[in-house]
Amino acid sequence: MDWLFWDNDGVLVATEELYYRACAEALARIGVDLDLPTFRTISLQRGESVFQLVAESRGRETRESLRSWRDARYGELLAEGVAPLPEAKETLERLCGRVRMAIVTSCRREHFAVMHRASGLLDYFDFVLMREDYHHSKPHPEPYLLALARSGAKPGRCVVIEDSPRGAQAAARAGLACIVIPGTMNAAGDFSSARWRIERLGEIPALLGIYPCR
């Protein structure tokens, strides 16, 4: 194996609950209740916008205004501090120098910069692909096809690490094997497209046959 392509939100950093909070607060401004199961279905499983819940009669301008408010609010929540997920740094440290790594995320550049301002994780990666770098988001395969092109690697020599059904589907559609770590936000999702399902980041090195040097 030559490359690991990592998702970001929910895999490296704990941000999905904050994103849900920002979306719910935005919709509440016009009296729309966004519960967690609906958010999981629309955003995490299908990769679609929760603002589809806004009635057509309210018009495009309302949806765009809410989206701008949500993005600003999400930035505020991230600025309060985002912690790397348990075992993230230790796992990356074990893998560093044994396999090359990149981040392939649906996160936008401005938010990515805030969440990794003090994470200490980015030095482990060769490159990062963010939402502005491609046209179609996960579950479309484009993000991972772009990662393959950027890395110059063959699909059979790469593994993806994801936490959401749409991310696992994107990997499969790009011809890549996928490890999923669902966590609490995605525990009930359909991960039939993934090759492996694990519970902790710390399981990854042994799963891939990467053991500490003696």
* Choice between 213 and 177, residue whose per-residue pLDDT is larger: 177
Q: Is 160 found in the same domain as 100?
A: yes
213: pLDDT confidence band, cut at 50, 70 and 90?
Answer: low
Q: Is 203 found in the same domain as 146?
A: yes
The pLDDT tens digits for 111-162 are 999 999 999 999 999 999 999 999 999 999 999 999 999 999 999 999 999 9
Q: Is 132 found in the same domain as 90?
A: yes
Number of domains in the chain: 2
Its domain, for residue 174, covers: 3-13+84-207
Q: Is 88 found in the same domain as 71?
A: no
112 is a domain residue:
yes
Question: CATH number for the domain including 150?
Answer: 3.40.50.1000
| DSSP assignment letter at 183 | T
The pLDDT tens digits for 191-209 are 999 999 999 999 999 999 9
Using the 3D structure, point to which of 79, 114, 133 is the last residue of a domain.
79
Q: Is 174 found in the same domain as 99?
A: yes
Q: Is 194 found in the same domain as 135?
A: yes
212 is a domain residue:
no
165 is a domain residue:
yes
213 is a domain residue:
no
- SS3 for 117? coil
The pLDDT tens digits for 19-62 are 999 999 999 999 999 999 999 889 888 888 999 999 877 777 78
User: At 159, phi and psi to the nearest 5?
Assistant: -135, 140
Q: In what order do the strands lie in the sheet with 3-6?
A: 127-129, 100-104, 3-6, 158-162, 177-180, 196-197
pLDDT of residue 58: 79
Q: Is 161 found in the same domain as 180?
A: yes
Full-model pTM: 0.91
Q: Is 113 found in the same domain as 70?
A: no
Asked whether the CA dihedral 15, 73, 59, 28 is positive or negative, the reply is positive
Using the 3D structure, point to which of 79, 104, 129 is the last residue of a domain.
79
User: At 17, phi and psi to the nearest 5?
Assistant: -65, -35
Least Cα distance to 190 among 211, 169, 206 occurs for: 169
Least Cα distance to 52 among 36, 63, 66 occurs for: 63
If you compute the radius of gyration of the chain from its CA atoms, what whole number of angstroms results? 17
